[in-house]
Amino acid sequence: MTEKPPILSVLHVWYKYPNTHENVLKDITFSVQKGEIVGLMGSNGAGKTTLIKMFNGLLRPTRGSIFYKGNDINTESTASLSKEIGLVFQNPNHQLFSNTVEDEIKFSLKSTDINKEEYNKIIQSILTDFDLNQYKTRSPLNLSGGEMKKLSVASIICRDPEILIFDEPTIGQDYKNNQFFLKLLEKEKKKKKTIIIVTHDVEFAMEHLPRIILMQKGEILADGPTRLVLKNKALIKKGSLILPQIYSFKESLEQMGIKITKEIHSPNDMIQFIQEFLKTRGNS
């Protein structure tokens, strides 16, 4: 069976900001399949945010190429790319600028080709789904931090792009808003959306991101299954991350002389191991 071509391909991409000498991206190459969920991780200054800004044309490679559905994005305008590739910034203040919450959604939909009847339905549906109806006449600047984050996500989701990109979606959010985001993530996964998430949260990555691309100083350190990348202590150290709690706990048990022969990657794996261990001890 022939493998389908990737929805997004990054080939030997370099980038240097104008009037600077240092490359912030260095020979970046990877691809993403349609429907795949990928995390970008690494320390501050690794080049993650610079990279994702290239996907919808906000920045253009100094060298190298990026292809969306086989087409070089350098042949496409930022406006046309933004219909297909939605980017939610870490800071909502960099994304929201309309007078009211409702106007923010309306403005985002202006560049789409939907008819007026569908246009009004989408606006009402988005305001309801994101629990923003009560704020629709309020200025985005007068919303709470969590509500502003919701609005910034809503203004992208309303266009129903093929690729969704989130920059640190869980940072600074309370439990309720994080749960809302996780439910949204599940909903978009069921629609087979391609999702790219920049995050420092190793626990979130372990639970929700099957694949990680780990970056450091503009280069890719590792690209592979999250459970393999995040249990590699050398990579964790180079990428300025912390070891996930499940692996730290496993390491502590081993230091206590408890031999763990099975693979443990999740809390459920650990609970099962401990139950079996205690049962064995009780029978000995």
CATH number for the domain whose boundaries are 8-243: 3.40.50.300
Global confidence as pTM: 0.91
pLDDT on residue 283: 66
pLDDT tens, position by position, 76-104: 999 899 999 999 999 999 899 899 999 99
CA distance linking residue 124 with residue 102, whole number of Å: 9
Tell me the per-residue pLDDT of 143-152, one tens digit each, with 9 for 90 and over. 999 999 999 9
pLDDT tens for 31-66 read: 999 999 999 999 999 999 999 999 999 999 999 999
Distance between CA atoms of 76 and 146, rounded to whole angstroms? 33
Ranges of each domain in the chain: 8-243, 244-284
- Scanning the chain, the segments in alpha helix (DSSP H) are 48-55, 78-84, 101-109, 116-129, 145-157, 175-190, 202-208, 226-229, 233-238, 245-255, 267-283
| DSSP-H helix ranges across 13-69 | 48-55
- In this structure, the number of other CB atoms found within 10 A of the CB of residue 21 comes to 6
